[in-house]
């Protein structure tokens, strides 16, 4: 339907144009000239062209009303620095060559068209004055520079365009001078229709175009151009034009006419119709234009009546479509948003029929958009943020309660987004209906994004079931468990499982912790957990029971109980089954326990991880398959019996069995034990049999060897022989003196050792060895003695000395190595008396050295030995002393004891002072060394030292002057203060005096109290401080200077007079006092 209406409007528009008005070309306008015209001050004017612009035109500008020229309506204009105005679109182009009949930039109004420029201080401005329907557009050129001039021409001119009458006026101000070739006048949409003015006669021509005016029209001169005179007879209605179509419901729009008769005597009556057929007058609508509004599509026409003839004609009507009021345009018709959060992209462009309806606090003049949103239980304990993001204009945001009262507003940038925007935060708002009003700051419009978010402050709650305990499902190592977890939130909550198994899952044996988290849309969480405990109540089972197994007996005739658990794990013994892994097998007879021969019952118990048990009653049989252990001796070797060439062999054979305590032993070959065996080897064999018939055999060899040596019946006796001068004796051959016989060999051989002719000395043992045919031997021995009759000789060493120890007792050294001893046969020893190591005292000791030879002959000598004291006495000094100086002196009297000096041999020594002052002396400041030396009876010395340190800890004496109180010096806010230095002295030298605070003596002290402080420091770093105050008092009165006495008469008709005088002046030596 809307499309059909628009098509009809266009059709009617075409009809209106076809009807038209009589031609009103520019050359039909009436020209007049007058003087005494004034220029508008152009208050509030806008600048279209700035300074220092030569040819560049302005942009396309709005006239501000409908201006009819040549019967055509214009709403826009532009101008150039060259002194002309172009009506309508497109915008003017640069045209500094003035030619009235040019087809460029028409229609054109040119108050002074030449090659001009604005200059360094000039401009082109415009302003609209008055109110509809009597508005005037005023355009001014100020301080233009005509071509071919030097310096500014200082020209000012204005063009006035009248809304109702269509009049055009050129008004001129003063000019500083000109030398131009300018065009003045107007032309129309056809270049040959013009009015050209010639100055200074100020005459107009519609035939001749004058482009060479060189004279300025003059200050106060005004040229007027009036449209053709009013009609007479039948007027022309022309066409109805709407400023907008369609229009917004209830929003004002303008109706005007094009092609209607113009001039005095024309009357207008606007009419409306809902069907385009029947029209009725609109009360008060008697102007050439009409501002109205509508809420439904409406037809409009204007009846134009000529007052001269009373005849009238209606304008071609136009139907104005109405766009319905958009949702959100009013408080009563808001855009209703859903649950938070919400984001809405919109605009408040007036073209989309948004109107300014919000009139509450902080209302702006731009169109408003109303939004309704709800604060629910999900939001009341939250922070609700309302923000305008990515707006294309400067925004203003209002928040209203359900009654429409503003509760918050903001036009400032907020923290929620970037760009031109506003934001508001509502802290924990109450549940209810709220409104958000979006408008532009001031009159701004554009696109925006409204975001309403809720920051939930209440976490959800979640409830888990109580802990669950159940038994396993049959044959399963777990149980299927179902449960439910409940969560609630002021908004909504999503439950996620963090740990454990889902409801309905098969839970394993034992405890499983199930943990859940409830999360609301704000990301706040709550957790709960519970346990599912599945107990294994199903016992393990045997599929192979009993086994009735058997094992072999061990060495002890016992079986060893096997590890049934190991066998069950390795080879599946007993065929064990259970619903859960972890079955433990235990046996009533422990693994490794001995089992007796025969059958033994036992019990096998299965226990699973849950403690469920099953038992199997079984038995095990132990059988003896082990042969007895028959022990034959190793090979038996015996020697021949005495005097015969055969030997008796004795042996024993034993047998043991794991079960039979009395094993039967039978000899199967060889002579019995105790028999006489012939020389050589003989094999003997045995067999053993136990009660179970198990047998074993063994055998060994009996070997008879001749191990009897010959029997010596005669051995030579001991013999005494004499040595020669070299202590030597010659051994003779004694083998013939030996007599011997053998049991198996008919003859024997004899050997002598040492061999005959051997030289010996002293005692010599001679061994006689008798051997039979197989090498068996027998020996005998005797001695020869070589006699020594010469005693040894010895020479003692010279006197020897050695050091006494700390106790003055010393073990005597071994001096035997120092003796010079000799003997003809050698083999002597030297001994000492006192023996080495015997403690001896300080001084001389006689030592006897004795030499003894192999024959027992001795010789002796005596030597002197001396113990020498080389240990110094021990001198021990007193401890170091640290003393303060005595009062008022730089020394200290020190007392100390004489050191002790014990000695190892003398008992004690007398110490003598060798360094420092004696005890009781006044020791000077600093470190003083005192030394002693002790000497014992042997001349050994030792010394020691200690220090007496005298320290100055007495601070110096310091005395400051008394406190000083002074008046300020005349005319000053300070006083010169002089004092003497404080008095100071010290027990050790002269201390150093230093001022540590305040001003120095002779300084200008400011008003008030100043503390002056000093410090005295001696050479030891001891210091003393003192201070005094200097108080400067301001007792000088301030100065005031008043004006002189004033005598005056009363003001006219007043019983008094307004008197003006200079304020008194004040001064003081101390400002602010």
Confidence (pTM): 0.32
Output the DSSP codes for 749-789: EEEEESPTT-EE-SEEEEEEEEE-TTS-EEEEEEEEEEE--
Output the DSSP codes for 117-136: ---SS-EEEEEEES-TTS-E
User: Reduced to 3 states, what is the DSSP secondary structure of residue 707?
Assistant: coil
Domains 335-456 and 629-705 share a fold: no
Query: What is the Cα–Cα distance from 589 to 456, expressed in whole angstroms?
Result: 71
Share of the chain above pLDDT 90, in %: 36
Query: What is the Cα–Cα distance from 383 to 655, expressed in whole angstroms?
Result: 105
Domain 881-951: which topology? Answer: Immunoglobulin-like (2.60.40)
Question: Does the pLDDT of residue 18 top 50, yes or no?
Answer: no
- Taken as a whole, the chain contains a residue count of 1073
Over residues 118-131, mean pLDDT: 91
Q: Which two tokens stand for residue 75?
A: 């709403």
Query: What is the Cα–Cα distance from 538 to 53, expressed in whole angstroms?
Result: 107
Over residues 679-694, mean pLDDT: 88
Which homologous superfamily is 711-787 in? Immunoglobulins (2.60.40.10)
CATH code for residues 629-705: 2.60.40.10
Question: Does the pLDDT of residue 230 top 70, yes or no?
Answer: no
- Listed by start position, the domains of the chain span 2-9+233-323, 25-226, 335-456, 461-535, 541-623, 629-705, 711-787, 793-868, 881-951
Domain 461-535: which topology? Answer: Immunoglobulin-like (2.60.40)
> Is residue 387 a contact partner of residue 422, using CB atoms and an 8 Å limit?
yes
pLDDT digit string (tens) for 282-313? 998 888 889 988 888 889 888 887 655 556 66
* Gyration radius of the chain's alpha carbons: 74
Query: What is the Cα–Cα distance from 955 to 969, expressed in whole angstroms?
Result: 39
The CA distances from residue 577 to 314, 573, 574, 584, 607, in Å, are 113, 11, 9, 11, 11
DSSP state at residue 742: -
pLDDT of residue 79: 94
Domain 2-9+233-323: which topology? Answer: Immunoglobulin-like (2.60.40)
Query: What is the Cα–Cα distance from 678 to 683, expressed in whole angstroms?
Result: 12
pLDDT digit string (tens) for 153-178? 578 999 999 998 889 999 999 887 66
DSSP state at residue 443: T
pLDDT digit string (tens) for 508-528? 998 999 999 999 877 889 999
Cα 562-564-566 angle, rounded to 5 deg: 100
> Is residue 139 a contact partner of residue 80, using CB atoms and an 8 Å limit?
no
Burial of 490 (0-12, 13-18, 19+ CB in 10 A): buried
Output the DSSP codes for 1020-1057: TS-EEEEEEEEEEE--PPPEEEPPPP---PPPTT-SS-
Over residues 15-26, mean pLDDT: 42
Query: What is the Cα–Cα distance from 842 to 905, expressed in whole angstroms?
Result: 8
User: Reduced to 3 states, what is the DSSP secondary structure of residue 1072?
Assistant: coil
Over residues 486-510, mean pLDDT: 89
> Is residue 811 a contact partner of residue 837, using CB atoms and an 8 Å limit?
yes
Query: What is the Cα–Cα distance from 807 to 197, expressed in whole angstroms?
Result: 154
pLDDT of residue 355: 80
> Is residue 515 a contact partner of residue 553, using CB atoms and an 8 Å limit?
no
145 or 931, which is more confident?
A: 931
Q: How confident is the model at residue 3 (pLDDT cuts 50, 70, 90)?
A: very low
DSSP state at residue 982: P
CATH code for residues 335-456: 2.60.120.380
Q: How confident is the model at residue 150 (pLDDT cuts 50, 70, 90)?
A: very low
Query: What is the Cα–Cα distance from 778 to 710, expressed in whole angstroms?
Result: 6
Question: Does the pLDDT of residue 491 top 90, yes or no?
Answer: no
Query: What is the Cα–Cα distance from 385 to 417, expressed in whole angstroms?
Result: 11
pLDDT of residue 44: 92
pLDDT mean across residues, the chain: 85
Largest CA distance in the chain: 208
H or E element in which residue 77 lies: strand 72-80
Residue 436: closest CA among 296, 540, 337, 544? 337
Query: What is the Cα–Cα distance from 226 to 32, expressed in whole angstroms?
Result: 8
User: Reduced to 3 states, what is the DSSP secondary structure of residue 806?
Assistant: coil
The CA distances from residue 101 to 89, 200, 202, 541, 833, in Å, are 19, 21, 20, 125, 167
H or E element in which residue 342 lies: strand 342-347
pLDDT of residue 1023: 93
Peptide bond into 765 cis (omega under 30): no
- What dihedral do alpha carbons 107, 110, 114, 116 form, nearest 10°? -100
Question: Does the pLDDT of residue 1026 top 90, yes or no?
Answer: yes
Q: Which two tokens stand for residue 122?
A: 């000039």
pLDDT of residue 311: 63
Query: How many alpha carbons fall within 13 Å on the CB side of residue 175?
Result: 23
The CA distances from residue 52 to 56, 149, 150, 237, in Å, are 10, 15, 15, 47
Question: Does the pLDDT of residue 900 top 60, yes or no?
Answer: yes
Over residues 264-271, mean pLDDT: 77
Highest mean pLDDT among 216-230, 712-726, 878-892: 878-892
**Residue 175: partners with Cβ closer than 8 Å, 6 or more residues away:** 153, 154, 155, 156, 216, 219
Cβ-based neighbour number of residue 196 at 10 Å:
24
Which homologous superfamily is 793-868 in? Immunoglobulins (2.60.40.10)
The CA distances from residue 901 to 804, 805, 808, 872, 881, in Å, are 18, 17, 16, 9, 21
Query: How many alpha carbons fall within 13 Å on the CB side of residue 877?
Result: 22
Domain 541-623: which topology? Answer: Immunoglobulin-like (2.60.40)
Q: Which two tokens stand for residue 187?
A: 């032309």
Query: What is the Cα–Cα distance from 5 to 247, expressed in whole angstroms?
Result: 13
Residue with tokens 């003015």: 197
At 915, phi and psi to the nearest 5?
-150, 140
Cα 7-8-14 angle, rounded to 5 deg: 95
């Amino acid at each position: 339907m809307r499309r059909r209406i628009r098509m009809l409007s266009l059709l009617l528009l075409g009809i209106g144009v076809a009807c038209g008005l009589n031609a009103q070309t520019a050359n039909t306008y009436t020209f007049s000239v007058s003087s005494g015209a004034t220029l508008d001050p152009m208050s509030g004017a806008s600048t279209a062209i700035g300074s220092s612009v030569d040819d560049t035109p302005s942009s396309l500008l709005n006239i501000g009303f409908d201006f009819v020229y040549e019967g055509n309506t214009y709403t826009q204009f532009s101008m150039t620095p060259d002194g002309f105005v172009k009506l309508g679109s497109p915008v003017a182009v640069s045209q500094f060559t003035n030619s009235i009949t040019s087809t460029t930039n028409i229609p054109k109004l040119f108050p002074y068209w030449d090659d001009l420029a604005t200059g360094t201080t000039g401009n082109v401005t415009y302003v609209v004055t008055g109110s509809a329907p009597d508005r005037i557009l005023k355009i001014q050129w100020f301080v233009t520079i005509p071509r071919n001039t030097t310096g500014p021409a200082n020209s000012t001119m204005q063009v006035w365009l009248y809304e109702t009458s269509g009049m055009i006026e050129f008004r001129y101000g003063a000019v500083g001078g000109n030398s131009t070739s300018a065009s003045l006048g107007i032309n129309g949409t056809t270049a040959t229709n013009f009015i050209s003015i010639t100055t200074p006669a100020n005459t107009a021509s519609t035939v001749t175009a004058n482009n060479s005016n060189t004279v300025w029209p003059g200050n106060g001169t005004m040229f007027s151009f009036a449209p053709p005179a009013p009609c007479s007879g039948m007027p022309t209605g022309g066409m109805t034009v709407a400023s907008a179509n369609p229009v917004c419901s209830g929003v004002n729009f303008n109706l005007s006419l094009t092609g209607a008769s113009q001039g005095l005597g024309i009357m207008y009556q606007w009419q409306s119709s809902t069907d385009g057929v029947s029209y009725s007058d609109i009360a008060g609508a008697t102007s050439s234009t009409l501002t109205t509004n509508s809420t439904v599509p409406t037809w409009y026409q204007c009846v134009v009546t000529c007052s001269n003839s009373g005849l009238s004609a209606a304008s071609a009507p136009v139907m104005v479509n109405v766009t319905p009021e958009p949702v959100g345009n009013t408080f009563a018709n808001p855009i209703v948003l859903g649950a938070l959060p919400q984001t809405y992209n919109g605009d408040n462009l007036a073209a989309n029929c948004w109107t300014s309806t919000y009139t509450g606090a902080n209302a702006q003049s731009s169109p408003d958009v109303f939004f309704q949103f709800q604060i629910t239980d999900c939001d009341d304990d939250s922070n609700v943020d309302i923000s305008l993001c990515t707006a294309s204009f400067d925004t203003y945001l209002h928040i209203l309660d359900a009654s429409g009262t503003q509760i918050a507003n903001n036009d400032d940038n907020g923290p929620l987004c970037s760009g031109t925007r506003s934001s508001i935060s509502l802290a924990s708002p109450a549940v209810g209906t709220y409104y958000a009003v979006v408008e532009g700051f001031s009159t701004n419009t554009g696109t925006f994004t409204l975001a309403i978010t809720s920051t939930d402050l209440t976490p959800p709650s979640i409830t888990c079931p109580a802990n669950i305990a159940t038994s396993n499902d049959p044959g399963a190592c777990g149980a299927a468990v179902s449960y439910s977890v409940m969560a609630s939130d002021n908004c909504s909550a999503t439950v996620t499982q963090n740990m454990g198994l889902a409801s309905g899952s098969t839970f394993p044996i034992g405890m499983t912790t199930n943990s859940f988290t409830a999360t609301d849309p704000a990301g706040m969480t709550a957790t709960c957990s519970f346990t599912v405990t599945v107990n294994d109540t199903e016992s393990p089972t045997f599929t192979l029971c009993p086994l009735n197994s058997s094992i072999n007996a061990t060495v002890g005739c016992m079986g060893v109980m096997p590890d049934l658990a190991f066998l069950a794990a390795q080879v599946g013994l007993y065929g064990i089954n259970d619903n859960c892994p972890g079955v433990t097998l235990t046996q009533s007879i422990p693994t490794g326990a001995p089992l007796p021969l025969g059958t033994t019952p036992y019990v096998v118990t299965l226990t699973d991880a849950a403690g469920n048990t099953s038992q199997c009653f079984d038995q095990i049989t132990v059988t003896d398959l082990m042969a007895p252990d028959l022990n034959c001796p190793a090979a038996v070797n015996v020697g021949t019996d005495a005097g015969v060439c055969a030997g008796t062999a004795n042996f024993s054979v034993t047998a043991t069995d794991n079960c039979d305590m009395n094993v039967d032993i039978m000899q199967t070959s060889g002579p019995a034990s105790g028999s006489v065996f012939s020389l050589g080897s003989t094999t003997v064999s045995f067999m053993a049999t136990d009660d179970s018939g198990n047998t074993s055999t063994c055998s060994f060899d009996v070997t008879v060897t001749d191990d009897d040596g010959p029997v010596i019946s005669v051995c030579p006796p001991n013999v005494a022989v004499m040595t020669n001068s070299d202590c030597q004796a010659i051994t003779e051959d004694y083998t013939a003196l030996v007599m011997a016989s053998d049991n198996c060999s008919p003859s024997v051989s004899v050997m002598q050792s040492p061999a005959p002719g051997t030289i010996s000395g002293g005692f010599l043992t001679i061994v006689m060895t008798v051997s039979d045919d197989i090498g068996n031997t027998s020996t005998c021995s005797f001695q020869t003695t070589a006699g020594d009759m010469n005693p040894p000789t010895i020479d003692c060493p010279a006197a020897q000395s050695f050091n006494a120890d700390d106790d003055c007792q010393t073990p005597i050294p071994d001096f035997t190595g120092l003796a010079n001893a000799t003997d003809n046969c050698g083999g002597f020893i030297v001994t000492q008396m006192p023996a080495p190591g015997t403690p001896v005292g300080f001084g001389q000791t006689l030592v006897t050295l004795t030499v003894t030879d192999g024959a027992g002959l001795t010789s002796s000598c005596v030597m002197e030995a001396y113990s020498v004291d080389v240990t110094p006495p021990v001198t021990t000094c007193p401890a170091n002393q640290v003393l303060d100086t005595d009062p008022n002196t730089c020394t200290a009297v020190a007392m100390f004891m004489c050191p002790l000096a014990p000695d190892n041999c003398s008992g004690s020594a007398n110490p003598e002072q060798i360094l420092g002052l004696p005890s009781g002396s006044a020791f000077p400041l600093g470190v003083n060394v005192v030394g002693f030396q002790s000497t014992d009876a042997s001349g050994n010395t030792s010394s020691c030292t200690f220090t007496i340190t005298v320290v100055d800890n007495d601070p110096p004496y310091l005395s400051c002057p008394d406190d000083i109180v002074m008046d300020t010096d005349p005319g000053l806010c300070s006083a010169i203060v002089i004092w003497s230095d404080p008095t100071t002295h010290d027990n050790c030298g002269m201390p150093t005096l230093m001022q540590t605070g305040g001003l120095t003596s002779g300084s200008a002290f400011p008003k008030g109290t100043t503390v002056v402080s000093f410090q005295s420091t001696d050479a030891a770093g001891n210091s003393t401080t003192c201070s005094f105050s200097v108080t400067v008092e301001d007792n000088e009165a301030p100065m005031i200077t008043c004006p002189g006495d004033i005598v005056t008469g009363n003001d006219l008709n007043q019983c008094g007079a307004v008197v003006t005088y200079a304020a008194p002046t004040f001064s003081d030596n101390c400002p602010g006092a």
